[in-house]
Amino acid sequence: MKRIGAGIRSLGLPAIEKISEEQSGTAFHVLIATMLSAQTRDPVTLEASTRLFAKAPTPEAMAKLSEAQIEKLIYPVSFYRNKAVHVKAACRKLLAEFGGVVPSTMDELLTLPGVGRKTANLVRIVAHKRPDSICVDTHVHRIANRLGWVRTRMPEQTERALYEVTAKKWWSRINLYLVTWGQHVCKPVYPRCPHCPVLPLCPRIGVTRVSKT
Ligand code: SF4
């Protein structure tokens, strides 16, 4: 983690951290951007979120948009039709049951339409600064397995396993570090092992082909 932390300093922040830190995004913005980010490339998430928040910066304003308006604003994020439905429903639920405030507990977050453990954990970490969550997406799942930290088949298993094998002081940083690493160095196909500062420590489990650049 220390080597990866040093390695990501010169690399760009992932979309959700950018929205939170560079655009001073609220917890609501972090929640909605994370919902939009599923299976969508970071630049697309960032542009779609920025368009949506410019039109509707609060749950009140967003709940007033029609699903068709939300679709148009967030296109071309993947599954934009489903996501528009979930975004509107989540805004309505936030207003009806949480006073328009994004909750911070896992149980409450999971009651919001379209919110699963990955989104809930990232909201807890990025928006609420909780130190007791690990957010596992495909990058975290893949790299934790390549590094030999865990041996799991599904991200949900990886989350459970990481709580067992990693020190708590790193939990809230695992997602930021490994997502950034996965976007730039330990890519899904052709990871850049020859130039990776973690190479001396990495068993490279499951890696069969590497990038030459
Ligand atoms: S050495 Fe290769 S597999 Fe291991 S972390 Fe670096 S890029 Fe990933």
And the tokens for 117?
């453990």
Write out the catalytic residue numbers: 118, 137
Q: Report the C-alpha gap between 77 and 10 in whole angstroms.
A: 27
Q: Of how many residues is the chain composed? A: 213
The predicted structure's pLDDT at residue 22: 82
pLDDT tens-digit profile of 70-94? 999 999 999 999 999 999 999 999 9
**4 C-beta closer than 6 A to ligand 1:** no
pLDDT less than 70: residues of the chain? none
In whole angstroms, how far apart are CA 175 and each of 39, 76, 87, 181, 208? 16, 25, 23, 10, 24
**Residue 212: how many CB atoms within 10 A of its CB?**
8
From ligand 1's centre to the CA of 30, what distance in Å?
A: 29
- CA 122 to ligand 1 center in whole angstroms: 24
pTM: 0.94
